[in-house]
A and B are shown apart, each in its own frame.
Chain A
């Protein structure tokens, strides 16, 4: 009892430098700081860096919501603002809500029904975005930039969004929609007579038809949008995603949210530490072998490691042997010792590893964590029961050559070989059921334990699965909600 307490009290050894750097996102931290330094080029970089670090706004959203008239920009922008608690900046807010240096000038243009020049818009936007609240909470820029010139002006004043949402829909849909557009003068929220009618009767009464909305006006705006769109698309290509606005607003919003939470691929060094978990027969070892081959990571299978330890007659191997011989499960402590030793070897630390078939329950997972082995990608393979049975119960091995065959998917080439095929007792139906039951009783808790895991549909072609797994490994993990 006292020993266990002592073990908990001693501080864990510091993580190796590579893992520490990865977990804390050090590369991104320093890269963001360098970006800001280059954009602003302050005379006193030390002072600037101290202030930048104190602001702690690396994760504050910097989003542009663009799209043709009636595509739903305001709805999306307002929703994003509420979600992230960021500041929404649009034509109306710049002209009517804020009092900036050049607001009067801009309003004068509007009175005279003249188009407000790009430079003026750029200045207004720049001034608004350099306010403390935008810097701290992040900003959602709605409807800007409208054209290439504005985009360049924003860029030269150091304003560049991290995500650009580009809504699109067929022109006919847009013209139809703009006919039903209604505005709540109090909250500035946008509603629609058919698609998005407010439930509150008070709000319903307030709604007015926005001005400058004749079909002619809208067509004119559409034309202009289409003219400017290709240049803007080109400028923001790397951070842009086009989202179809011709679907229910809930769908649009969920797609937008998923997009703005992604991190763009970074140049940060990345050592994969991958776990493949799933029922027997789901294809874990195949995928592990494919990944190991393509990316040069070390492929580890728990069962294999145990057998190798016994075969090599190592000290641990001798301790493990009696369990393997008698068919009893090897105790967790021994398995963990073996795993930690292997995973802390130099090749695993520098190339990364993929481990299949461990942990089998949450207890083992916790032990892994305590041993400071933290995977950075976890995959759960999902396969329906019938497919598992089909894959496993039809496995056969040729005792002479050791080749593995499958009655349906990979039959033996000659009847001679077929005659001598044998089945591994593990693959007999009742044993498969036993193994599956054990797996199923533990899987829910494991899925809760590994919250950021990816779920793989294992009932597909192996190369389709491989591409999916590959994309999950290469793309950085999305932002977590604070």
Chain B
């Protein structure tokens, strides 16, 4: 591989640009704004603000969505889900499940679920 290409790939890796572009694409396709350029500017400005802890990152899912997701997983309405389900949910959203130390019989309540989700989503954006 030529030096220039190697440099460019390293640059992309370092700043996690492919993931960022994929998220931008996902946000665009989900919201389908009338003016995509302005929408992208707003999203990136929110990332910048979130980075400086001035505002919220542009999460694809808000609190209501996370709530709904929990209800979908908790089919029987028991008020909790299993760690395996929790892991699957994180994987579906493309969030990392690396540092998740949970025994297999721990009950994940709605509150824990939401807090965990939020923490993971925040982590995923803070690399930018």
Residues of A with Cβ closer than 8 Å to B? 14-15, 17, 20-21, 24, 26, 29-30, 33-34, 37-38, 41, 45-47, 49-50, 53-54, 56
Pairwise interchain contact B32-A15, C-beta atoms closer than 8 A: yes
A-B interface, 7 closest residue pairs, ranked by CB to CB distance from nearest = A17-B29, A50-B44, A20-B32, A53-B41, A14-B32, A38-B8, A45-B15
Chain B residues packing against A (C-beta within 8 Å):
7-8, 11-12, 15, 17, 20-21, 24-25, 28-29, 32, 36-37, 40-41, 44-45, 47-48, 51, 128
Q: Provide the residues of chain A in CB contact with B128, threshold 8 Å.
A: 46
Indicate if the CB atoms of B44 and A26 lie closer than 8 Å: no
**Complex alpha-carbon distance, A37 and B8, angstroms:** 9
CB contact under 8 A between A54 and B41, given known A14-B32, A30-B25, A46-B128: yes
Chain A residue contacts of B11, Cβ below 8 A: 38, 41
Instruction: Select one of A14, A15, A34, A54 contacting B17, CB under 8 A.
Output: A34
* 7 extra A-B contacts, CB within 8 A, seeds A20-B29, A34-B17, A41-B7: A14-B32, A30-B21, A30-B25, A34-B21, A45-B15, A46-B44, A54-B41
Taken together as a complex, chains A and B put the C-alpha atoms of A361 and B20 apart, in Å, by 46
Given the complex of chains A and B, what is the CA–CA distance between A29 and B20 in angstroms? 14
| B residues in contact with A20, CB < 8 Å | 29, 32
Of chain B, the residue at the smallest CB distance from A21 is B29
Taking CB atoms, residues of chain B closer than 8 Å to A53 are 37, 40-41, 44
Q: Inside 8 A of B40's CB, which chain A residues have their CB?
A: 29, 49, 53
User: What chain A residues lie within 8 Å of B20 (beta carbons)?
Assistant: 45
Residue of B nearest to A17 (CB): B29
A256 to chain B, nearest CB (A): 29
Which B residues are CB-close (under 8 A) to A56?
37
Task: Give, as a whole number of angstroms, the nearest-CB distance from B97 to chain A.
Answer: 26
Cβ of B41: which chain A residues have Cβ within 8 Å of it? 50, 53-54
Most chain A CB atoms below 10 A, which of B8, B12, B32, B128:
B32
Q: How far is the CA of A20 from the CA of B35 in the complex (A)?
A: 11
A-side contacts of B47, CB under 8 Å:
46
Distance in angstroms between the alpha carbons of A433 and B58 in the assembled complex: 62
Q: Is A29 a contact partner of B48 (Cβ separation < 8 A)?
A: no
B contact residues around A26 at 8 Å (CB)? 25, 28-29, 36
A50-B48, A54-B41 given as contacts; is B17 within 8 A of A37 (CB)? Answer: yes
CB distance from B11 to the nearest CB of A (A): 5
Residues of A within 8 A of B21 (CB): 30, 33-34
